[in-house]
A and B are shown apart, each in its own frame.
Chain A
Amino acid sequence: MTENWKPVQLAAKVLGHISQGMYRTPAGAVKELISNAYDAGASYAKIHTGFPRFDFFSCEDDGEGISSKRFIELMSGGIGDSDKQRADHSTGKNGRPLIGRLGVGLLSLAQICPRFSILSFHEKTKTAFEAEIKFPPYSRQEIDKIIADQKRGGNLHPIMHGEYKTKDLPYLPGRKGITVTTSSLRESFRKTMKNLEHFANVKHFNNYESYPSFEHFLEAIVNPSLRSLYFASPYDQFLFGLALTAPLPYVDGTEADGSPETLLLRIPQIAKLQKQIKSYGFRVEVDNIELRRPVILPSNGDRTPAAACILPVKPSLDRFTLTDGTTKNDIEIQRYDIKVKGSDVTFKLFWFDYDQKVNGFPLKFKGYIFLQTGRLFPKEYQGILVRLRNVAIGQYDVNVMTYPMAEGPRFSMLSAEVFVDDGLDDALKVDRDGFNTLDPQYIRLQAFVHSILHELIFPESWFEEKKRNLKRRQNKETSVSREFDSALRNATDETIKAVQIIPKTEHRTADVAVEVDKRTRTVKIYESNPAAKSMLGRRRFHGLASRVIAAFEAANLERTPERRREVFYRLIGDIFK
């Protein structure tokens, strides 16, 4: 039998459908332009969205630009064939690790506009050009319409293409970089962005204008009343998304200058990382505000300031076993037990490093897991974020890489970042928004995170939470008892001053369940007496039951039925107020 291989052809729709579904959010699409600028050695990327009308979009950088020759090559079948990243992990300006992989940055614009113009000053060749690009049909309606037209004409093309035209311009010495502009924004993009009903600047500052500074934006979104960016506007989500994903330094305000401060920068390893990122000399401005990595920790309901946190002089060491199938590694990590000035609130931060060969290639990452005692605000800080060469892949994953066990509210108290220095490239999806979960390196990272959580962090966290809850209950009980004793004194004109449960350890065999000790003016309930035991019920109800008994006994001391009724009802009211 002869082999008769035939090529598999894709329907024209496929290209459109692939690009349509490539980016999940506007920020996801725009981040590609930022990555391009970063890879091109730019010192800035400036984005204008045309807030609040969103009728204009521009992204400008001062990178090396692109020559018209290379641009034409890209337009002639080169998209997705970038030479930016090869196996040798070459670096860019100031030692920046390159981000791009497939050269699909320009394609990302299809998500927000059907056409755009590009102006490039290429420093190396001292050339300049401008071009207009029309994307191939993108939406289902567009594609279906063209296919229907082609079918009518009896001429169905297998692959559809966009259109472009270029014009060479005189090179201006000193000028370099790329500017992308468009006024043809897609209705879907504009509609999403224009929905400013829940704009956090209005919610928090009663101001309809654009944010005056990034600090102002952070203050509007990092507050417990907002809970989640879901309750803010898509524009807020867009700013947050870009700030989170771009390869930028953390916010580094201080208490002294009144701007948001993050505890993370007081961790030596993260401070070192910050220094390294700053050394790349790259900034991103969106609508006139300079973005920073928007991670403010701690971020609890009490808004504990980072300045109030007390870090140990040296981290302690801890260990866990990383289990990935038959692979078992004993891993040592560093832990920071963090106290807060004038409070019993505590935080924990675990720092880890990993460097092994997986599937024949190196996998090298580091990171931290931060744990606080209440939920994190906004919700978008909860979970884990993986960064590949400083660029966030997706957003925080509250399911922590599909952690298999139920851990209740603990995920909402956890915020982690993993910084991947080497590996995971092949696991990355084309939209750079997630990973192929069957990739062996991804599986190893997942196993690492799950193991540390399961073996070390969550068991300790459970224990501590129980302890904390018990203490909280005890404190509450003490406070309620104190208040009731005061009510008893008032209701009985000081005849009875307190109620007391005498534990078994103090009085082993009591003959009576309850007695009124006239000397100490106390209602005593003997726990060892079977009747008292029955009355008190379960331990958690002891306080409540003892107060009802005391109310009865106090009322019973009164001389008239009316007075007895009055005292009893009054005390019952105090108990259940």
Chain B
Amino acid sequence: MELTEHLDGQRPFRYFTLCGRPMIDVYMLVKEKVLRVDDTGRRILGVAFCELDKEVFPEMIELIGVEESGFRAKLEEIILFSDIPETQPLDTMAALEGYLEGEGEGLNATLREAIENKRRHLLFRSLFPFDFLNLDFCDRYYGIPPDVLQVNMAIERLLEWQRQPGKKSNGAPFSIGRFVLAITCRVENKLTSATSTRLANFVGENVHTHAEYKAALQLRGINNVTKWSVEEPLDFFMSTWPKEIARLALMKQWDIKVHDHAFYDRVSDSGEAYHMVCLVVEFTQAPICSTYLAAATQSLDQSGRTEIRKIEPTDTDGKRLLADLRQIVNLRNKQAKRAGREELPEPLSEINRLKGEGVPI
């Protein structure tokens, strides 16, 4: 893999994920030998994850085999910690712990919680940087008011943290000049007004400031942005949202290259149809970002997107995917068995079971 080549065996590939209990992505990278397993055959090196569920959390740690790999938290909340007046002067772990030690167990609950949150925030920050951040939010990128920009702000901070030096297992420092960010989010057939307005404003701004962008938009025959957002919400979102990421890259001095911009359709348990969109972007450190416009314009091009069509297990592609998935599940189940954890079912029989139960897949 291209991303691991530059490591030259100096340290393991560093992968951050919001994978959830199945951990398919982790074991896929193990199968592809991007992630290394140590000599004990039990520890997957270089992986870190965030998980809030206190029951699932220990199981996930065991499936990776490295105690320090997990962080029990909701990603956006831990990243976006904001100080209260009492925590402002306490900006290091030593200061926070010194304060707690000084005050002892008698500290009031609100202040204790704020200090605790700040400490967790600093600890989480110290995990960075990573070679690959796989952020599958399973939810909207722009949330419900008042938390419309929570995910976006979290990504902005992550781009800052990606510039800080990390520590190898022997304590030696390292830095990362290039990494990949994959963001997966949900897009409904009716966008929220906050989403439409924000993205439409981006388009308006680009049209005014970049002739190249305006020309690309005209080439697509788009004259009414509002109408576009209502009539073709998926196309609108996929055309405009990458500009948000490009803008963050510009602000945080990263050059970007969009590697993949994919989508697929889904149906919720309540029968509501929606789409999942995935953007895979490579970031490279740059004093001045020179790729902003290219990335923003490129996203208008519908032919640059990949639609992941429904594949049947009996198709040629389906058979190949199923064979890969089986290998991944086997790897995962081997580890689950060793840890005494529940194994995942055989993929085809699970697909058939879900189909039999009428679950949309």
Q: Give the residues from 151 to 210 in chain A that come closer than 8 angstroms, CB to CB, to chain B.
A: 179, 181, 183, 186-187, 191, 202, 206-210
Given contacts A56-B57, A139-B105, A206-B170, whether A213 and B67 have CB atoms under 8 Å apart is: no
Contact among A56, A114, A141, A213 with B72 in the assembled complex (CB-CB below 8 Å): A56
Q: Is A46 an interface residue (CB 8 A)?
A: yes
- Could you say which residues of chain B place their CB within 8 Å of the CB of A181? 54-55, 58
Chain B residues whose C-beta falls within 8 Å of the C-beta of A44 in the assembled complex: 340
A321 to B19, CA, bound (A): 67
Q: Taking the nearest CB of chain A, how far is it from the CB of B199, in angstroms?
A: 37
Which among A47-55, A353-361, A460-468, A523-531 touches the partner chain? A47-55
A565 within 8 A of B: no
A288/B67 contact (C-beta < 8 A), A46-B62, A117-B54 known = yes
- Docked CA distance A208–B173 (Å): 13
Judge if B287 is at the interface, Cβ distance under 8 Å: no
Beta-carbon contact of A53 and B104 below 8 Å: no
In the bound complex, residues from chain B placing their C-beta under 8 Å from that of A550 are none
* In the complex, chain B residues 31-70 whose Cβ is within 8 Å of any chain A Cβ: 38-40, 42-43, 54-55, 57-58, 61-62, 65-68, 70
Asked if B337 is at the interface of the complex by the 8 Å CB criterion, the answer is no
A287 interfacial contact with B, CB 8 Å: yes
Name the interface size band of chain B. Answer: 20 to 34
In the complex, which residue of chain B has the Cβ closest to the Cβ of A201? B169
Given the contacts A46-B58, A207-B170, A288-B65, A138 and B40 also touching, CB distance less than 8 Å: no
Given A55-B123, A287-B67, A288-B42; A119-B55 close (CB under 8 Å) = yes
Does B9 count as interface, using CB distance less than 8 angstroms? no
A60 to B43 alpha-carbon distance, docked (Å): 20
The residue of chain A having its C-beta at the shortest distance from the C-beta of B72 within the complex is A56
Pick from B55, B61, B100, B106: contact of A142, CB under 8 Å:
B106
Report yes or no: A288 in contact with B61, Cβ–Cβ below 8 A.
Answer: yes
Contact of A58 among B58, B169, B170 (CB under 8 A): B58
A49 neighbours in B (Cβ, 8 Å) = 67
B101: interface (CB < 8 Å): yes
Asked if B104 and A141 make an inter-chain contact with CB atoms under 8 angstroms apart, the answer reads yes
B97 lies within 8 A of chain A by Cβ: yes
Question: What are the residues of chain B within 8 A of A114 when measuring CB–CB?
Answer: 105
**Residue B140 lies at the interface, judged by CB distance under 8 Å to chain A:** no
CB within 8 A of A212: which of B42, B72, B97, B100? Answer: B42
Report Cα–Cα, A202/B339, bound state, in Å: 26
User: What A residues does B58 contact at CB under 8 A?
Assistant: 46, 48, 58, 60, 179, 181
Closest Cβ of chain B: how far from A184's Cβ, in Å?
8
Bound CA–CA A119/B54 (angstroms): 11
* Bound CA span A138–B38, Å: 43
Cβ contacts under 8 Å, B61 to chain A? 48, 288
Among candidates A51, A117, A145, A183, residue contacting B106 with C-beta atoms closer than 8 Å: A145
> Quick check: A187 and B170 within 8 Å, CB to CB?
no
Tell me which of B68, B105, B339 contacts A186 (CB under 8 A). Answer: B105
Instruction: Note all chain A residues with C-beta closer than 8 A to B70.
Output: 56
Q: Mark B107-144, 1 if CB is under 8 A from A, else 0.
A: 00000000000011001000000000000000000000
Contact A50-B67, Cβ < 8 Å, known A208-B170, A212-B38, A213-B40? yes
A209 cross-chain contacts in B, Cβ below 8 A: 66, 68, 169
Q: Say whether B171 faces chain A, with CB atoms less than 8 Å apart.
A: yes
Interface string of A66-80 (1 = CB under 8 A from B): 000000000000000
Q: How far is the CA of A49 from the CA of B66 in the complex (A)?
A: 12
In the bound complex, CA of A507 to CA of B243 (Å): 108
Give the residues in chain B near A58, CB-CB below 8 Å: 54, 57-58
- Complex CA–CA separation, A444 to B101 (angstroms): 45
Cβ contacts under 8 Å, B355 to chain A: none
- Separation in Å of the A384 CB from the closest CB of chain B? 33
* A514–chain B nearest beta-carbon distance, Å: 63
Inter-subunit contact A179/B66 (CB<8 Å):
no
B259 in contact (CB, < 8 A): no
User: Are B169 and A212 in contact, CB atoms less than 8 angstroms apart?
Assistant: no
- Contact partner of A208 (CB less than 8 A), chosen from B43, B65, B171, is B171
- The distance in angstroms between the C-alpha atoms of A191 and B93, with both chains bound, is 11
Contact A212 B39 (CB under 8 A): yes
Cβ of B227 within 8 Å of any chain A Cβ, yes or no, is no
| B104–A212 touching, CB < 8 Å | no
Cα separation A317 to B339 with both chains bound (whole Å): 46
Distance in Å: Cβ of B218 to nearest Cβ of chain A: 54
Which chain A residue shows the least CB distance to B108? A145
Q: Which residues of A contact B97 (CB under 8 A)?
A: 187, 191
Residues of A close to B62: CB separation below 8 A: 46, 288
B residues within 8 A CB of A46? 58, 62, 340
Q: How far is the CB of A509 from chain B (nearest CB, A)?
A: 73
Q: Across the interface, do A208 and B72 meet the contact criterion of CB distance under 8 Å?
A: no
Query: In the complex, A202 Cα to B101 Cα: how many Å?
Result: 26
- A287 CA / B61 CA spacing, docked (Å): 9
- A68 CB → nearest B CB, Å: 17
Complex Cα spacing A55 to B70, Å: 11
In the complex, what residues of A have CB within 8 A of residue B123's CB? 53, 55
A208 in contact with B105 (CB, 8 Å): no
Instruction: Mark out the residues of chain A between 19 and 77 whose CB falls within 8 Å of any chain B CB in the assembled complex.
Output: 44, 46, 48-53, 55-56, 58, 60, 62
Q: Does B21 contact A (CB under 8 A)?
A: no
- Could you give, for residues 319-350 of chain A, a 1 whenever the CB lies within 8 Å of some chain B CB and a 0 otherwise? 00000000000000000000000000000000
Smallest CB-CB separation from B66: which chain A residue? A210
A112 to chain B, nearest CB (A): 13
- Measured in the bound complex, the distance between the Cα atoms of B57 and A53 in whole Å is 15
Given contacts A48-B61, A186-B105, A212-B38, contact A288 B170 (CB under 8 A): no
Which residues of A are found within 8 Å of B74, using beta-carbon distances? none
Q: For the complex, is B167 an interface residue (Cβ under 8 Å from A)?
A: yes
Q: Smallest distance from the beta carbon of B263 to chain A beta carbons, Å?
A: 35
Establish whether residues A208 and B54, one from each chain, have CB atoms under 8 Å apart when the complex forms: no
B307 to chain A, nearest CB (A): 38
Q: Roughly how many angstroms separate A139 CA and B101 CA in the complex, as a whole number?
A: 13
Which residues of B are found within 8 Å of A53, using beta-carbon distances?
A: 68, 123
B68 touches which one: A52, A62, A117, A213 (CB < 8 A)?
A52
Q: Which residues of A contact B57 (CB under 8 A)?
A: 56, 58
CB distance from B110 to the nearest CB of A (A): 14
Which residue in chain B gives the minimum CB-CB distance to A216? Answer: B40
Q: B100 to nearest A CB, angstroms? A: 5
Choose among A62, A117, A139, A183 the residue that contacts B104 (Cβ–Cβ < 8 A): A139
Told that A212-B39, A212-B40, A288-B339 touch, could you supply 11 new A-B pairs with CB distance under 8 A? A53-B68, A56-B70, A139-B104, A139-B106, A141-B104, A141-B106, A144-B106, A187-B100, A210-B67, A288-B65, A288-B67
**Can you list 19 A-B pairs with a CB-CB distance of less than 8 A?**
A44-B340, A46-B58, A48-B58, A50-B67, A53-B123, A55-B123, A56-B57, A119-B55, A141-B105, A141-B106, A142-B106, A181-B55, A186-B105, A208-B171, A212-B38, A213-B42, A288-B42, A288-B62, A288-B339
Please give the residue numbers on chain B whose beta carbons come within 8 Å of chain A beta carbons, in ascending order. Answer: 38-40, 42-43, 54-55, 57-58, 61-62, 65-68, 70, 72, 97, 100-101, 104-106, 119-120, 123, 167, 169-171, 339-340
Binding site for B on A (CB under 8 A): 44, 46, 48-53, 55-56, 58, 60, 62, 114, 117, 119, 138-139, 141-142, 144-145, 179, 181, 183, 186-187, 191, 202, 206-210, 212-213, 287-288
6 tightest A-B contacts by CB?
A: A141-B106, A139-B105, A287-B67, A210-B67, A51-B67, A181-B54
